[in-house]
Amino acid sequence: MQMEKSKMIMAWFLASEAAFFGFLILAYIYYRNAISSGPTAKSSLDPSVTAIYTVLLIASSGTVWIAQNKLKANRRSDFRGWLLVTVALGAIFLVGQGLEYARLLRHDVTISRNLFGSSFFTLTGFHGLHVLIGLAMLTTMLGMAWFSSIGSKEWIAFESIALYWHFVDVVWIVIFSIIYLGALL
Amino acid sequence: MSDIPFSPAAPLPMPVSGGRLWLGLLSWVSAVDHKQIAILYLLTTTFFFIIGGLEALLMRLQLAWPGLPFLDPGMYNQIFTMHGTTMVFLVVVPALLGFATYMVPLMIGASDMAFPRLNALSFWLLLFGGLLLYFSFIAGGAPAAGWFSYAPLSEKPYSSQTGLDYWALGLLGVGVGTVAAGLNLIVTIFALRTPGQSIRKVPLFVWMVLVNSFLIIAALPALNASLVMLLIDRQLNAHFFTQLGGGSPVLWQHYFWSFGHPEVYIMVLPAFGIISEVIPVFSRKPIFGYGFVAASTVAIALLSLGVWAHHMFALGLGHAWDLAFGASSMLIAVPTGVKIFNWIATMWGGTIRFTTSMLFAMGFLITFTIGGLSGVTFAVVPIDWQVTDTYYVVAHMHYVLFGGTLFAMFAGVYYWFPKMTGRLLSEPIGILHFGLTFIGFNLTFFIQHFLGLAGMPRRVYTYPDFPWWAAMNLTSTIGAFVLGLSVLVFLANWAVSLRNGQVAGENPWGGWTLEWATTSPPPVHNFDRVPPVRSRRPLWDLAHPENPDWRHGQ
Amino acid sequence: MQISTFDPQSPQAHGIASLFVFTLAVCAVIFILVTGLVFYCAYRYGSWSQYVEPPANFGNQKLEITWTVIPLLILLVLFGLTWTTMSAVDPPPASQPDVVITGRQWWWDVEYPRSGAVTANEVHLPVGRNFSIRVQSGDVIHDFWVPQLGRKMDAVPGLQRHIWINVDQPGTYLGACAEYCGAQHAWMRFRVIGDPIEKFDSWQKHEAEPARSSLGGQAELGAQRFQELTCVNCHAIRGTGAKEHIGPDLTHMASRKMLAAERLTNTPEHLSKWLKNPGAVKPGTKMPNLQLAEADITSLTAYLESLQ
Ligand code: HEA
Ligand code: HEA
Ligand code: CUA
Ligand SMILES: [Cu+2]
């Protein structure tokens, strides 16, 4: 029962989050057609670099899934290992996003520069924030797995966190397609 | 009722337990029990209702006669903005959540909400969001762009004071808390129902709270996204909603109303739920057409996601848009009508007891219908082109919100107060309260239809001395003070009845749902033993083993 | 002088008014039905003392269908009328507007592009003609509304909106800004004046001309002070060096009935009062208090009131 509850609330929470991202994505699409001057996705983004980070994030969805299976099979050290890989992949993704932001800011593409800047930073910024929160939760799990034992309660929590992580991943795939692949068109 | 023995109930859950006041207060601050949280919700919303109501009285004073110097425009505009924002976000929605938090676990035979601590968090987010909003008064001026803060008026160049930032931040807090409450209720209703109570056997209040919670998690994100974008505009100089460089004031309207319209049903669905409990019990008949009442709720919720642009008819979006949204808005009248007629059919052939609660429910049927019908006149688009942004709209929204939701909540308070406190509210004072409310309400707001048709725009701090305008406004103001008096009578009733009210016992009204199967107020764990549930009216089945509902397939 | 939607004075407003009356009648019938049923139940089934448990009735499918289908049919009729009325009272715009109206915090700029006439807070129209009106905004959202003449239309920054008005008979029709637009939304009113076509034509011709320049006495002095003081930073008086459009065009301001968007009647006393301290007359107004000397106020008033 307990397990059902926390997974259920996470699932509906994510549904609500999906709506939230939906509105930011719609705004991005709307403004993409309204930009009159200044930088655009085409002029300022590098889809090929971001593609690499995207692959890493997608991979982390896979590794978290493996970690989950290890935990189910009660192979604690494997679990810790795969979890560590997940955290590392997520962190690399965030670093990648940071580097990208730094490069954009150097070229004076900012949130107040024009509508591309505003909608791009808002959307990817909120996604980045979600990745950060996910990382914090995963790291906490990792810490617990290392220093104390994982009980049934933590196991339930981990199920929900994994769900969250997959969600963050899916949202990124959508964002990547619309912003980065959209810039190639 | 007097033969009901005094039940050895738990002490009143009120934070005034004499010498141990501090301990008492502490227990409220750290409360996680759903009943305590619910009481906190209801007390907080009462507090904000008084504030919002006093703001309304200030406005009505200023408008009592043309050219009064009582409030200057700057102050008037802050006050109507705060009045609307307070009533919507800090009164109606959280009060309904308060009812839900108290009653849903009881009605489904659970001992608490699914996530008690999250429940507490929702409440505290509401309180702090509300306080943040009101802090703006001290911090250089309250927001003054109306409760839907149209851009670009709400943007830095036109509203440079910090009021709007507090508005956005406060509402973000409240909004997140509301989503959390919605999620909590969904899981509670899905996961914690007592065995035997399938989802098609829950009381209609629970059912409507469930649908409402889904509406919350679907609609609130639109508000949160709009607020975030507005804040980025204001704080980080972006141009989402200013016309500079391709930004769009129209997009703000689309975003806000795709939250704002579902919001108005978020403000009414649980109220429909209360009516669906009160009318059967005081008509001594089961609800007529349970399935249709339940299904129409889903229909309303789904339709409500597709009507937002009916708030934007004056914007000139084009006839195709206007027609589509006019049609979808009209359609909502159908499932709502289904409800009205089923409630009447429930009364039909019953044995109606005119308790205060029932009087409010019957008052609801009449006043809400007026509000609903004026809503339909907006959906007839050309009419809206004339009456939008006038007092006709002010009349509509108060008929549905006050004449609808607040009437239903009053019915709910009289109905459940005994369960929450162990004592009945006084019926004589209650009937006085109802009478004053009904008269004051109609006096205040009916005439506003004519004001609007006579050409008076809304949100004006004063008006020229046109024929009849002064008289009509004065009438409305007098009505508002009668309403104020009615609120005082209501509060007096609490004070009197908490001390001297008749002791309620478990089930003073002969209710049939599970909340009446435990002491009043219920113990912390709610039930010592949950009765078996085989139909929608378990307590009826218990009392009438010779003719249980489940034998009729209910 | 009427202002209410009950007294329509154009085909557009007539169309809406009759649709409203019809809809109201439909709603009245429904309301009487619902209220009647509630009162009947109260009367017939009310119990004040003892009561008997009534028989249960869990529902009736036929009834449910009835009260679903009948409202649907009613709404279908309303929808049909909505559609036809919409196209009748709000046809597509003309290619060139006859008048362009720009809402600004908190007054209306009125320009006739064909003739070059410019005025403020006062729209003149010829009676019995379809007149094409473009509505736009210079800052926040406003809304152009003359209850007796037809639909309201938002003035949205960055967009151009359009309505048609065809005034039935000569007269003055009062209007207001209907979209909340900040401090002085209440005093962002205006008037529409319907004139016979000849009168309208001569008005327009006069209004398009530059301001008169043969002045004397105080007015002469006022004209000079007007150019010297900050007035020219915001106001235009055609025929002089004043060209800015931040405030209302004052070229023929003496010909207008009202001051400051209907706040005051246009008399020399009121004008002096306005110039002395606009914020005292209309708190929040965008025209600053220029701390004018008494003598300046006198001469400026004389000047402006001579600008017929
Ligand atoms: C509790 C909240 C609530 C509810 C339930 C409603 C219900 C409805 N509202 Fe209302 N509305 C508001 C709260 C609410 N509204 C608020 C707050 C505003 C103003 C916002 C602002 O600008 O500040 C507003 C504004 C508003 C507008 C915009 C007006 C404008 O600004 O120009 C419109 C336009 O279509 C509208 C339509 C409707 C309709 C069609 C319904 C329908 O749901 C009504 C359905 C009910 C009935 C029709 C009665 C019962 C039915 C029968 C008896 C059956 C038979 C009936 C027929 C065949 C007609 N509402
Ligand atoms: C549920 C929501 C709700 C409720 C209950 C009310 C209640 C009231 N409203 Fe409000 N109203 C709105 C929601 C609500 N309103 C909204 C959303 C708007 C739009 C805002 C906007 O345009 O942005 C609005 C706007 C609005 C306007 C239009 C303002 C304008 O456009 O310029 C007016 C004007 O008359 C008004 C009046 C009233 C009155 C007289 C009451 C009365 O019913 C109030 C009755 C209550 C009291 C009078 C309190 C009495 C209490 C006491 C007397 C306590 C005594 C003190 C102690 C015990 C300490 N309201
Ligand atoms: Cu301009 Cu209201
Ligand atoms: Cu709506």
- Digit-coded pLDDT (tens) for C85-97: 999 999 998 889 9
CA distance C293 to chain B (A): 27
B472 three-state secondary structure:
helix
In sign, the C-alpha dihedral spanning B405, B411, B416, B422 is: positive
Alpha helices in C46-175 (DSSP H): 61-89
- B276 touching C (Cβ < 8 Å): no
A16 CB neighbours in chain B (<8 A) are 179, 183, 217-218, 220-221
Q: Does residue B483's CB lie within 6 angstroms of at least one atom of ligand 2? A: yes
Question: Going by CA atoms, what residue is nearest to atom 48 of ligand 2?
Answer: B484
Choose from A33, A36, A118 for mutation: most chain B CBs within 10 A: A118
* pLDDT digit string (tens) for chain B, length 554 residues: 333 333 333 344 444 444 566 677 777 888 889 999 999 999 999 999 999 999 999 999 999 999 999 999 999 999 999 999 999 999 999 999 999 999 999 999 999 999 999 999 999 999 999 999 999 998 888 999 999 999 999 999 999 889 999 999 999 999 999 999 999 999 999 999 999 999 999 999 999 999 999 999 999 999 999 999 999 999 999 999 998 777 899 999 999 999 999 999 999 999 999 999 999 999 999 999 999 999 999 999 999 999 999 999 999 999 999 999 999 999 999 999 999 999 999 999 999 999 999 999 999 999 999 999 999 999 999 999 999 999 999 999 999 999 999 999 999 999 999 999 999 999 999 999 999 999 999 999 999 999 999 999 999 999 999 989 999 999 999 999 999 999 999 999 999 999 999 999 999 999 999 999 999 999 999 999 999 999 999 999 999 998 898 888 77
Q: Are B275 and B268 in contact (CB under 8 A)?
A: no
Q: Are A23 and B218 in contact (CB under 8 A)?
A: no
Question: Going by CA atoms, what residue is nearest to atom 58 of ligand 1?
Answer: C71
Give the residue carrying structure tokens 């209040």.
B205
Q: How far is the CA of B305 from the centre of ligand 4 (A)?
A: 10
Cβ count within 10 A of residue A48: 9
Evaluate whether chains B and A are touching (3 or more beta carbon pairs less than 8 Å apart).
yes
- B393 touching C (Cβ < 8 Å): no
B224 CB neighbours in chain A (<8 A) are 20
- Test C57 with B349 for CB contact under 8 angstroms: yes
Strand C171-177 with C117-120, pairing: unpaired
- A143: exposed, middle or buried (Cβ count in 10 Å: 0-12, 13-18, 19+): exposed
* Substitution candidate for ligand 1 out of C22, C26, C29, C30 with most atoms within 8 A of CB: C30
- B386 touching C (Cβ < 8 Å): yes
Cβ burial B432-471 (10 Å sphere, 16+ → b, else e): bbbebbbebbbbbbbbbbbbbbbbbbbbbbbbbebeebbe
Q: Which of B221, B233, B237 sits opposite A19 (nearest CB)?
A: B221
- Test C45 with B348 for CB contact under 8 angstroms: yes
Give the atom of ligand 2 at the shortest distance from the alpha carbon of B76: 32
- Test B186 with A8 for CB contact under 8 angstroms: yes
Q: Which residue from A31, A166, C41, C209 is spatially nearest to B229, judged by alpha carbons?
A: A31
Using CA atoms, how far residue A175 sits from A10, A28, A127, C66, in Å, is: 21, 10, 9, 49
- Test B330 with C46 for CB contact under 8 angstroms: no
- Test C3 with B323 for CB contact under 8 angstroms: no
The structure tokens listed for C45 are 């089934």
The chain-wide mean pLDDT, for chain C, equals 93
Choose from A101, A115, A121 for mutation: most chain B CBs within 10 A: A115
**Which own/partner pairs from B298-302 qualify as long-range (CB within 8 Å, at least 24 positions apart)?**
B298/B211, B299/B334, B299/B335, B300/B265, B300/B269, B300/B332, B300/B335, B300/B336, B301/B211, B301/B212, B301/B214, B301/B215, B301/B262, B301/B265, B301/B269
Q: Which residue from C126, C111, C100 is spatially nearest to C249, judged by alpha carbons?
A: C111
What is the DSSP secondary structure assignment for residue B423, as one 8-state letter? B
Mean pLDDT of C102-108: 96
Q: Does residue B84's CB lie within 6 angstroms of at least one atom of ligand 2? A: yes
- Test B247 with A115 for CB contact under 8 angstroms: yes
Ligand at shortest distance from the CA of C286:
3
- B314 touching C (Cβ < 8 Å): yes
Residue C180's identity, in one-letter code, is Y
Cα(B470)–Cα(B434) distance, integer angstroms? 28
- B330 touching C (Cβ < 8 Å): yes
Cβ count within 10 A of residue B155: 26
Q: Mind giving me the DSSP string for C231-253?
A: GGGT-B-TTSS-B--SS---TTG
Please give all residues whose beta carbon lies within 6 A of any atom in ligand 3, as ranges. C 103, 106, 142, 177, 179-181, 185, 188
Question: What's residue B485's pLDDT?
Answer: 98
CA distance B497 to chain C (A): 23
Ligand at shortest distance from the CA of C101:
3
**Tens-digit pLDDT profile for residues C161-211:** 999 999 999 999 999 999 999 999 999 999 999 999 999 999 999 999 998
Q: How far is the CA of A98 from the centre of ligand 3 (A)?
A: 45
List the single residue in B with minimal CA-CA distance to C39: B362
Question: Is residue C52 over pLDDT 90?
Answer: no
Q: Which of A19, A112, A115 sits opposite B246 (nearest CB)?
A: A115
Cα(B160)–Cα(B235) distance, integer angstroms? 11
Question: What's residue B21's pLDDT?
Answer: 64
The structure tokens listed for B465 are 């001395």
Question: What's residue C216's pLDDT?
Answer: 80
Choose from B386, B450, B466 for mutation: most chain C CBs within 10 A: B386
Mean pLDDT of C74-92: 95
Q: Are B372 and C66 in contact (CB under 8 A)?
A: no
Cα(A47)–Cα(A49) distance, integer angstroms? 6
A10 CB neighbours in chain B (<8 A) are none
C189 three-state secondary structure:
strand
- Test A16 with B251 for CB contact under 8 angstroms: no
Question: What's residue A3's pLDDT?
Answer: 53
Q: For ligand 4, an ion, list residues with CB under 5 A.
A: B 261
ipTM of the complex: 0.95
Weakly modelled stretches of chain A, pLDDT under 70: 1-3
CA distance A50 to chain B (A): 25
The structure tokens listed for B229 are 């974008």
* R_g of chain B computed on alpha carbons: 23
Backbone phi, then psi, for C62, in 5-degree steps?
Answer: -60, -45
Evaluate whether chains A and C are touching (3 or more beta carbon pairs less than 8 Å apart).
no
What is the DSSP secondary structure assignment for residue C260, as one 8-state letter? T
List the single residue in B with minimal CA-CA distance to C144: B314
* Size of the B and C interface in Cβ pairs below 8 Å: 258
Mean pLDDT of C128-143: 95
Q: In what order do the strands lie in the sheet with C117-120?
A: C117-120, C107-112, C99-104, C131-137, C161-165
Give the atom of ligand 2 at the shortest distance from the alpha carbon of B405: 1
Q: Does residue B88's CB lie within 6 angstroms of at least one atom of ligand 2? A: yes
Plot region of B541 (φ>0 → left; ψ -120 to 50 → alpha; else → beta)? alpha
- The alpha carbon of B339 is separated from its chain's Cα centroid by a whole number of angstroms, namely 18
Question: Rounded to two decimals, what is the model's pTM?
Answer: 0.95
Question: What's residue C51's pLDDT?
Answer: 67
Q: Which of C24, C38, C152 sits opposite B388 (nearest CB)?
A: C152
